[in-house]
């Protein structure tokens, strides 16, 4: 165990975790690498390799104990604690994120929402009063935000990123269709819906040879 962990491995851990939670609910005591593979869309060998990077969780001949492995993966992914999230941009996407129930149930707490539009500031969404853009730096550091979700137009995204990073945030989830520059100790993930659609059109377009 304990080599360098690839991004794909981490992504698969999240998928295994989901299957494990279902298995725990279905009160299965153990689960095999093969079943985890099936549900996660990969192979049994891959599952074993991924897990072996972090330790030895299974029992030979038996499989993996579901409850224990669930806790182990939660620990690896940092899900043993709750995380404080700010949503920046109270447009349609921001609104959908604030209302998204899966965040809360998976340990993510939206504790601040921001917008530049004075008409929106002051409104209350899901218990959060929308705060003005000027309050960004102060509130982000006071409220100890762990993760900033950027849901502003592309033109504003880099500036928002710079400001939250300067205020101490080390993880960004960016919905704007632009490539953000961040210091290398800041984690960044992009959700880019047009890009996903373009992967689909590529597939459609090449399929009709």
Phi, psi of 178 (to 5 degrees): -140, 155
- Work out how close the CB of 154 gets to a copy of itself at its nearest, in angstroms, rounded to a whole number: 8
Binding mask 7-26 for DNA (x = CB under 7 A): xxx-----------------
- Work out how close the CB of 71 gets to a copy of itself at its nearest, in angstroms, rounded to a whole number: 14
Pull the structure tokens for residue 199.
Answer: 């992967």
Residue 95 interface partner, choices a copy of itself, DNA, none, CB cut-off 5-8 Å depending on type: a copy of itself
- Work out how close the CB of 62 gets to DNA at its nearest, in angstroms, rounded to a whole number: 6
Residue 133 interface partner, choices DNA, a copy of itself, none, CB cut-off 5-8 Å depending on type: none
Residue 99 interface partner, choices a copy of itself, DNA, none, CB cut-off 5-8 Å depending on type: a copy of itself
6 touches DNA by CB under 7 A: yes
Q: What's the number of CA atoms in the CB half-sphere (13 Å) around residue 110?
A: 27
Long-range pairs, 53-56, Cβ under 8 A, ≥24: 53/1, 53/2, 53/3, 53/5, 53/9, 54/1, 54/2, 55/1, 56/1
Closer to a copy of itself at the Cβ: 57 or 83? 83
- Work out how close the CB of 27 gets to DNA at its nearest, in angstroms, rounded to a whole number: 18
Contact status, residue 149 vs residue 88, Cβ threshold 8 Å: yes
For the chain, state the CA radius of gyration.
20
Secondary structure percentages of the chain, helix, strand, coil, to 5? 45, 20, 35
Closer to DNA at the Cβ: 62 or 193? 62
116 touches DNA by CB under 7 A: no
Binding mask 142-181 for a copy of itself (x = CB under 8 A): ----xx----------------------xxxx---x-x--
Q: How far is CA 33 from CA 2, 5, 63, 87, in A?
A: 20, 19, 7, 37
- Which residues on adjacent β-strands are paired with residue 64? 31
49 touches DNA by CB under 7 A: yes
- Work out how close the CB of 181 gets to a copy of itself at its nearest, in angstroms, rounded to a whole number: 9
């Amino acid at each position: 165990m304990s080599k360098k962990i690839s991004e794909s491995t981490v992504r698969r851990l999240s998928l295994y975790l989901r299957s494990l939670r279902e298995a725990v609910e279905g009160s299965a005591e153990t689960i095999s690498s093969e079943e985890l593979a099936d549900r996660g869309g990969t192979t049994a060998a891959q599952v074993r390799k991924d897990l072996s990077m972090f330790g030895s969780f299974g029992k030979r001949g038996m499989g993996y104990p579901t409850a224990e492995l669930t806790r182990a993966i939660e620990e690896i992914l940092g899900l043993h604690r709750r995380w404080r999230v700010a949503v920046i941009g109270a447009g349609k996407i921001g609104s959908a994120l604030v209302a998204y129930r899966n965040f809360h149930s998976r340990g993510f707490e939206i504790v601040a929402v921001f917008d530049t539009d004075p008409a929106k500031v002051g409104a209350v969404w899901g218990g959060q009063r929308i705060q003005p853009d000027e309050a960004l730096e102060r509130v982000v550091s006071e409220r100890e935000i762990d993760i900033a979700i950027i849901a502003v137009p592309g033109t504003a995204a880099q500036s928002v990123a710079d400001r939250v990073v300067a205020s101490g945030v080390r993880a960004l989830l960016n919905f704007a269709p632009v490539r953000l520059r961040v210091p290398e100790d800041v984690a960044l993930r992009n959700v880019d819906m047009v890009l996903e659609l373009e992967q689909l059109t590529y597939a459609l377009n090449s399929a009709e040879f």
